[in-house]
Protein backbone atom coordinates (compact mmCIF):
# COMPACT_ATOMS: atom_id res chain seq x y z
CA UNK A 1 0.00 0.00 0.00
CA UNK A 2 2.83 2.40 0.81
CA UNK A 3 4.18 2.23 -2.78
CA UNK A 4 0.70 2.88 -4.17
CA UNK A 5 0.23 5.79 -1.78
CA UNK A 6 3.48 7.37 -2.88
CA UNK A 7 2.61 6.87 -6.56
CA UNK A 8 -0.43 9.17 -6.44
CA UNK A 9 1.60 12.27 -5.65
CA UNK A 10 -0.17 15.05 -3.78
CA UNK A 11 -3.75 14.01 -4.37
CA UNK A 12 -5.78 11.90 -1.95
CA UNK A 13 -5.32 8.14 -2.00
CA UNK A 14 -8.78 6.54 -2.11
CA UNK A 15 -9.49 3.15 -0.56
CA UNK A 16 -12.77 1.29 -1.06
CA UNK A 17 -13.56 -1.12 1.76
CA UNK A 18 -16.32 -3.35 0.45
CA UNK A 19 -17.98 -6.50 1.69
CA UNK A 20 -21.25 -8.08 2.62
CA UNK A 21 -23.40 -6.87 5.50
CA UNK A 22 -21.80 -7.58 8.88
CA UNK A 23 -18.39 -8.49 7.47
CA UNK A 24 -16.59 -5.79 9.48
CA UNK A 25 -16.12 -2.99 6.94
CA UNK A 26 -16.91 -0.14 9.32
CA UNK A 27 -14.77 -1.60 12.08
CA UNK A 28 -11.81 -2.00 9.72
CA UNK A 29 -12.23 1.51 8.29
CA UNK A 30 -12.32 3.01 11.79
CA UNK A 31 -9.23 1.09 12.89
CA UNK A 32 -7.26 2.17 9.80
CA UNK A 33 -8.33 5.79 10.26
CA UNK A 34 -7.10 5.72 13.86
CA UNK A 35 -3.69 4.44 12.76
CA UNK A 36 -3.17 7.02 10.03
CA UNK A 37 -2.58 10.69 10.73
CA UNK A 38 -4.33 12.20 7.72
CA UNK A 39 -7.29 9.94 6.97
CA UNK A 40 -11.04 10.30 6.74
CA UNK A 41 -13.85 7.77 6.41
CA UNK A 42 -16.93 8.20 4.27
CA UNK A 43 -19.91 6.07 5.30
CA UNK A 44 -21.26 4.52 2.12
CA UNK A 45 -24.69 4.15 3.76
CA UNK A 46 -25.05 7.94 3.48
CA UNK A 47 -25.65 7.38 -0.23
CA UNK A 48 -28.42 4.80 0.10
CA UNK A 49 -31.01 5.21 -2.64
CA UNK A 50 -32.77 1.84 -2.51
CA UNK A 51 -36.15 3.17 -1.51
CA UNK A 52 -38.72 1.70 0.84
CA UNK A 53 -39.12 -2.02 1.41
CA UNK A 54 -42.08 -2.28 -0.97
CA UNK A 55 -40.05 -0.75 -3.82
CA UNK A 56 -37.04 -2.91 -3.02
CA UNK A 57 -39.08 -6.13 -3.08
CA UNK A 58 -40.33 -5.43 -6.63
CA UNK A 59 -36.82 -5.20 -8.14
CA UNK A 60 -34.65 -7.89 -9.66
CA UNK A 61 -31.24 -8.50 -8.08
CA UNK A 62 -29.57 -6.56 -10.92
CA UNK A 63 -31.93 -3.60 -10.41
CA UNK A 64 -31.28 -3.65 -6.67
CA UNK A 65 -27.53 -3.49 -7.22
CA UNK A 66 -27.85 -0.72 -9.81
CA UNK A 67 -30.16 1.40 -7.65
CA UNK A 68 -29.21 0.71 -4.02
CA UNK A 69 -26.46 3.34 -3.79
CA UNK A 70 -26.39 6.73 -5.46
CA UNK A 71 -22.92 6.18 -6.86
CA UNK A 72 -23.06 9.41 -8.89
CA UNK A 73 -23.16 11.35 -5.60
CA UNK A 74 -20.28 9.22 -4.29
CA UNK A 75 -18.37 9.98 -7.49
CA UNK A 76 -18.83 13.72 -7.00
CA UNK A 77 -17.62 13.55 -3.38
CA UNK A 78 -14.55 11.48 -4.28
CA UNK A 79 -13.66 13.78 -7.19
CA UNK A 80 -13.95 16.84 -4.96
CA UNK A 81 -11.75 15.36 -2.23
CA UNK A 82 -9.17 14.11 -4.75
CA UNK A 83 -9.01 17.65 -6.11
CA UNK A 84 -8.04 18.86 -2.64
CA UNK A 85 -11.33 20.59 -1.96
CA UNK A 86 -13.87 20.35 0.85
CA UNK A 87 -16.71 17.92 0.14
CA UNK A 88 -20.26 18.36 1.35
CA UNK A 89 -23.28 16.09 0.99
CA UNK A 90 -26.57 15.26 2.64
CA UNK A 91 -26.71 11.69 3.87
CA UNK A 92 -29.71 9.40 3.76
CA UNK A 93 -32.11 9.91 6.67
CA UNK A 94 -32.23 6.41 8.13
CA UNK A 95 -34.53 7.54 10.95
CA UNK A 96 -37.21 8.63 8.47
CA UNK A 97 -36.41 5.74 6.05
CA UNK A 98 -38.68 7.23 3.41
CA UNK A 99 -36.23 8.47 0.78
CA UNK A 100 -35.43 11.78 2.45
CA UNK A 101 -31.93 13.04 3.03
CA UNK A 102 -30.83 14.48 6.37
CA UNK A 103 -31.19 18.22 6.79
CA UNK A 104 -27.68 18.66 8.18
CA UNK A 105 -24.85 18.21 5.70
CA UNK A 106 -21.76 16.13 6.19
CA UNK A 107 -18.72 18.31 5.51
CA UNK A 108 -15.21 16.86 5.16
CA UNK A 109 -11.92 18.53 4.43
CA UNK A 110 -9.59 16.66 2.07
CA UNK A 111 -7.16 14.18 3.58
CA UNK A 112 -4.17 12.21 2.37
CA UNK A 113 -6.16 8.97 2.63
CA UNK A 114 -9.89 8.79 1.95
CA UNK A 115 -11.72 5.59 2.84
CA UNK A 116 -15.11 4.91 1.27
CA UNK A 117 -16.52 2.08 3.32
CA UNK A 118 -19.67 0.16 2.67
CA UNK A 119 -21.22 -2.46 0.48
CA UNK A 120 -20.96 -1.50 -3.19
CA UNK A 121 -18.02 0.87 -2.61
CA UNK A 122 -15.83 -0.92 -5.17
CA UNK A 123 -18.44 -0.80 -7.91
CA UNK A 124 -17.18 -0.34 -11.49
CA UNK A 125 -18.59 3.19 -11.79
CA UNK A 126 -16.09 4.35 -9.14
CA UNK A 127 -13.08 2.40 -10.45
CA UNK A 128 -11.28 5.43 -11.91
CA UNK A 129 -11.43 7.16 -8.51
CA UNK A 130 -10.34 4.26 -6.29
CA UNK A 131 -6.67 3.40 -5.77
CA UNK A 132 -7.10 0.32 -3.57
CA UNK A 133 -10.06 -2.08 -3.38
CA UNK A 134 -10.32 -4.15 -0.20
CA UNK A 135 -12.86 -6.94 0.25
CA UNK A 136 -13.75 -7.82 3.84
CA UNK A 137 -15.18 -11.31 4.31
CA UNK A 138 -16.68 -13.18 7.26
CA UNK A 139 -18.61 -16.42 7.59
CA UNK A 140 -22.38 -16.15 7.28
CA UNK A 141 -23.00 -17.15 10.91
CA UNK A 142 -20.57 -14.49 12.15
CA UNK A 143 -22.11 -11.83 9.93
CA UNK A 144 -25.63 -12.68 11.06
CA UNK A 145 -24.62 -12.58 14.74
CA UNK A 146 -23.01 -9.18 14.27
CA UNK A 147 -26.01 -7.80 12.42
CA UNK A 148 -28.49 -9.09 15.00
CA UNK A 149 -26.42 -7.54 17.78
CA UNK A 150 -26.22 -4.23 15.90
CA UNK A 151 -29.71 -3.96 14.44
CA UNK A 152 -31.88 -6.25 16.57
CA UNK A 153 -33.00 -9.72 15.58
CA UNK A 154 -36.49 -8.82 14.32
CA UNK A 155 -35.40 -6.02 12.03
CA UNK A 156 -32.34 -7.89 10.85
CA UNK A 157 -34.06 -11.14 9.97
CA UNK A 158 -36.66 -9.38 7.80
CA UNK A 159 -34.13 -7.15 6.06
CA UNK A 160 -31.45 -9.82 5.60
CA UNK A 161 -33.61 -11.76 3.17
CA UNK A 162 -34.10 -8.64 1.07
CA UNK A 163 -30.50 -7.44 1.24
CA UNK A 164 -28.71 -10.75 0.81
CA UNK A 165 -30.09 -11.38 -2.68
CA UNK A 166 -28.57 -8.13 -3.99
CA UNK A 167 -25.24 -8.79 -2.29
CA UNK A 168 -25.04 -12.29 -3.80
CA UNK A 169 -25.60 -10.78 -7.23
CA UNK A 170 -23.08 -7.94 -6.70
CA UNK A 171 -20.25 -10.13 -5.41
CA UNK A 172 -21.08 -12.94 -7.83
CA UNK A 173 -21.42 -10.93 -11.05
CA UNK A 174 -20.53 -7.26 -10.70
CA UNK A 175 -17.35 -7.25 -8.61
CA UNK A 176 -16.06 -10.74 -7.91
CA UNK A 177 -13.39 -11.64 -5.39
CA UNK A 178 -10.74 -11.39 -8.16
CA UNK A 179 -11.64 -7.73 -8.70
CA UNK A 180 -10.13 -6.70 -5.36
CA UNK A 181 -6.54 -5.78 -4.57
CA UNK A 182 -6.75 -7.33 -1.09
CA UNK A 183 -9.09 -9.74 0.69
CA UNK A 184 -9.29 -9.76 4.49
CA UNK A 185 -11.19 -12.28 6.60
CA UNK A 186 -12.62 -11.17 9.92
pLDDT at position 46: 97
| Residues 52-86: tens digit of each pLDDT | 778 888 999 999 999 999 999 999 999 999 999 99
Closest CA to 17 of 5, 26, 8: 26
Better pLDDT: 14 or 4: 14
Domain that holds residue 161: 2-185
Distance separating alpha carbons of residues 102 and 90, to the nearest angstrom: 6
Share of the chain above pLDDT 90, in %: 75
CATH code, domain carrying 135: 3.40.50.300
Share of the chain above pLDDT 70, in %: 95
- pTM value > 0.75: yes
| Residues 130-164: tens digit of each pLDDT | 999 999 999 999 998 998 888 887 777 777 877 88
Q: For 162, list phi and psi in degrees, rounded to 5.
A: -70, -45
Distance separating alpha carbons of residues 140 and 136, to the nearest angstrom: 12
pLDDT at position 2: 59
Distance separating alpha carbons of residues 147 and 27, to the nearest angstrom: 13
| Residues 105-132: tens digit of each pLDDT | 999 999 999 999 999 999 999 999 999 9
With 70 as the cut, is the pLDDT of residue 5 above it? no
User: How many separate domains does the chain show?
Assistant: 1
Amino acid sequence: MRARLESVGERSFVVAIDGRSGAGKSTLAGAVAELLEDCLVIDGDDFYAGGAQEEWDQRTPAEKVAQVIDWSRQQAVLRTLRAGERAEWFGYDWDAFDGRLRLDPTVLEPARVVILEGAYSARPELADLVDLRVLVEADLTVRRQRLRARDGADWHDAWFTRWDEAERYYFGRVVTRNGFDAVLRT
